Structure 1
């Protein structure tokens, strides 16, 4: 709905430009260029003065026939163009960001919502507990595969239509899972739901970059990640008592997910604007062509012949894997996130061993204890204003010295106790979950794990975006693929691990692995600049 309004608003803007400016200026620019025989790729851009055309440049390009031709490149009218997403009011940009948080949380919550009712679903499908964890594992596998292709569709058709269509298909497969007649159908539908549900989490970073400046993104992106990535912790809480309930059955976990998704997608359809600038500019160029009858008006993407969907898909699938042997930063971060996500998703099956068996509490209450991790996650929101102010000061200082902002400032989140608290919280939970020790001790430990997880995650995402810039999408795709594939595999092995080792030693092993990675943010803060200079694909090497 908002996209339609934007389309009409751009049409009205172009009509006003055509009525109130001298379009003949463009022809005069061509005549001037031809008479002076200046062979330039690009003439001086027009300004918003009455004698010129706001946001339009005359450019000499090589056409599809191999001959040079003049085109009118349609762009933004500087920092005053009201249609440009970065020029929207703060309220409108925060509404768009809130929508991104909600749809991202939708896909993330679906990854874990079935975990709380696994005992009942496995019994209904007549499969073993270990096999039953495939409902979570296959969802994570679908998320991994979907993350490789979602970005290409959003860069071809725009963000909004991809969010809406993928969200609608996601809902169809969630409904199919709720009606699944057997276990094979259930895990197949979970995989397909995740494939389409991965779109918001994959593309949300691009949408944030569309509407916020790089400096502003150091505030808005952490807010989005902290809220959206509470989804896996929220899922078991939502379906906590559905498995044990006599009023409803375990399938209501999927029905509740469908209802939530329907509400969110309704809001997105009504209120989420299109943010992808190349698409908005192509609409603007289209209106210029229709109103003036001159086909020389083109957007930058149209003039340069942007890649086809197939080319984008092929690149998005193979390019991320180039980072496996060329980029030590990406490999290090991928391993770090794999460890964190393995812990998170093995908790889905591990919580009954940590809390239910040790303290004798019910299945429903065990799932409610995920609230502690959510509290830890949201505690990280308190850091956002503080670290943004620090980042802004660093930015102003660097600008005054004629330098760029050092990406290492993005590591502040994990250095504010996050990377240290990850192993500490796991040791804490592992060695205090005894009947003679209060249940509140491992609960508090889990809250610190939630805090550590989100602060490390936020640091990694911000750092990769600042360092790799145009390659960031490929780098993040590889990291997403790696962590979901690995955590999906380990989710299936969680029950045997906790059953054979017990919660004390299982958590101790995971804590030791996390402890090895704890120094990573501090080492990168100290030596990151040297590592960046040696990298082939790092674009911010200063």
Structure 2
């Protein structure tokens, strides 16, 4: 809904701002009447493109901010003149550009989008807390029932290869709304499953569509925030993605041990959460992908002026939609096999995710079998890890000001931007705690040693994982910017390994 209103509002703004003059008012491209010439000069002074006075085929001349006249003999719309009107933003302060939105509006948008990461990661793990009840109803072993979680994560890997390129072709919002709607359907089907086969099949399909927010989220964030603001925006939203899989077992454990409700409520809670978040996206989240916004603008200009030469950069692609999608699906593989750092980060994250999601069943062994915790208390043991995720917030001000100084230094160089490696400070502070916390937990998880020792080690583990996650993804986003979603595919492929 908000995207539709955004589309219509853009047309109204263009109709209000465009100045069109007849042939008798502007001769051979000379200045418009004095009052409008003053407006034009003021606009150019404020950063609008200088080539915004265009002569249309009907003889009229229009002053259209953000349009550049370029030569393109390959397009039939160019005609005999060989010119097209390339549509861009109206200078550095154009409110159409998501990076120029008000800070509160940015946070509202990113907060809702970030909740999609919480949702799908919640759905990935909540069923692990009710495995005992599901095993009993379907008469299967623990290993078989654990496939409900495993297949969901494996489906993440396959779905992410398509979801990210789609968001770079049709925009962010259509991908969010369609895939989350499909996720809701398969979550409902999983909750109604009469046997283990149908449950596993529907969990796989749910994961196939559930991967979208995690891969597209990084692209949405790079659409809205500039380099400096990402330093504090990304950690906040990353925490939502990590809190999901380790808050869900706490809720699922109490659902499992309850005699008042069925274990299938683990799926119903995910379904309710999915409905609320999908509705919020539909109602309150605008489109953020700049190439699509400029495509809308070009379409409106063609309609308003009747001149087909107005084109956005994304429309200059001569390949068909199917060809572009195939090419975009190929891009993650190209990045993985052609970019050493993408491959190295992926392999590192493989190890981290194996350990991280291994805790979903490992905690039952440590606290259930070793320390004799009840099912609900085992779920509460995940609080320590969640505390660790949030402790990573403590170093945000330090990293923020460090990066701000790096921006100032980089502004004086030819490149003008800091190196992407400046994003690795979170990992440098957090990564050493990863092996420390694992050895700590492994050496102290005995009945003769208080369970508080391993719980404290889980706090250190949560802090380490959050630091590694933030640095890895910010590095990839800064390095590959417009194709951030494709680069992030490999981070989520590692979850399924």
TM norm structure 2: 0.89
Question: 1:350, CA displacement in angstroms?
Answer: 0.8
- Tell me the residue number matched to 2:36: none
Distance verdict in 2 for CA 1:77–1:169, change over 3 Å: same
Structure 1 equivalent of residue 269 of structure 2: 256
Superposition deviation, residue 90 in structure 1? 0.5
- Could you tell me which runs of 5 or more consecutive residues in structure 1 were left unpaired when the two chains were aligned: 31-42, 487-542
After superposition, the C-alpha distances for 1:173-196 in whole angstroms (9 at most, x for unaligned) are 000000011111101111111111
Task: State which of 62, 79, 90 in structure 2 corresponds to 1:77.
Answer: 90
> Residue in 1 aligned with 2:44?
none
For 1:51 and 1:369, the matched residues in 2 are separated by: 66
C-alpha distance in 1 between matches for 2:325 and 2:319? 10
For 1:471 and 1:375, the matched residues in 2 are separated by: 32
* Structure 1 residues 478-529: Cα deviation after superposition (integer angstroms, max 9, x where no partner): 3322x1221xxxxxxxxxxxxxxxxxxxxxxxxxxxxxxxxxxxxxxxxxxx
Give the alignment partner of residue 51 of structure 2, picking from 20, 45, 68. Answer: 45
2:65 is matched with 54
For residues 319-347 of structure 1, give each alpha carbon's deviation from its aligned partner in whole angstroms, at most 9, with x where no partner exists. Answer: 32345544332222111101111011111
Q: Is the 8 A contact 1:11 1:284 kept in 2?
A: yes
Question: Measured at CA, do residues 54 and 326 of structure 1 come closer, stay the same or move farther in structure 2, by a change above 3 Å?
Answer: closer
* Distance in 1, Cα, partners of 2:101 & 2:441: 46
- Unmatched runs of 5 consecutive residues or more in structure 2: 31-48, 55-60
CA–CA distance in structure 1, aligned partners of residues 29 and 232 of structure 2: 43
Q: Secondary structure at the match of 1:298?
A: strand
1:47 and 1:55 in contact (8 A); partners too: no
* Deviant stretches of 4+, over 6 Å: 23-27
Given that residues 227 and 378 in structure 1 are in contact (C-alpha distance below 8 angstroms), is that contact kept between their aligned partners in structure 2? no
After superposition, the Cα gap between the structure-2 partners of 1:26 and 1:179, relative to the gap in structure 1 and judged at 3 Å, is: farther
Aligned equivalents of 1:436 and 1:46: distance in 2? 77
Q: Secondary structure at the match of 1:312?
A: helix
Alpha carbons of 1:145 and 1:76: their partners in 2 closer, same or farther (altered >3 Å)? same
Partner of 2:117: 104
Structure 1 residues 120 and 47: alpha-carbon distance in aligned structure 2, compared to 1, 3 A threshold: farther
**Alpha-carbon spacing, 1:28–1:381, altered in 2? closer, same or farther (3 Å):** farther
In the alignment, structure 1 residue 128 sits paired with structure 2 residue 141: yes
Q: What do the CA deviations read for 1:187-246 (whole angstroms, capped 9, x no partner)?
A: 111111111111111111111111112232232222221222222212212212111110
Residue 430 of structure 1, aligned match among 429, 442, 460:
442
Q: Give TM-score scaled by structure 1 length.
A: 0.82
Q: Structure 2: how far apart are the matches of 1:293 and 1:278?
A: 22
Tell me if structure 1 keeps the 8 A contact 2:218–2:484. no
The Cα shift of 1:424 comes to 0.9
Q: 1:226 to 1:309 in 2, by over 3 A?
A: farther
Q: Report the secondary structure of 1:59's partner residue.
A: strand
Choose the corresponding residue for 1:485, options 460, 473, 496. Answer: 496
User: Do the aligned residues in 2 keep the contact of 1:461 with 1:476 (CA within 8 Å)?
Assistant: yes
The answer (yes or no) to whether the contact 1:150–1:203 under 8 Å persists in 2 is yes
The secondary structure found in structure 1 opposite 2:85 is strand
Contact kept? 1:74, 1:297, Cα under 8 Å: yes
Cα distance in 2 between the residues matched to 1:393 and 1:437: 46
CA distance in 2, matches of 1:265, 1:199: 13
Deviation (angstroms), 1:138 = 0.2
Mapped contact 1:22–1:53 kept (Cα < 8 A): no
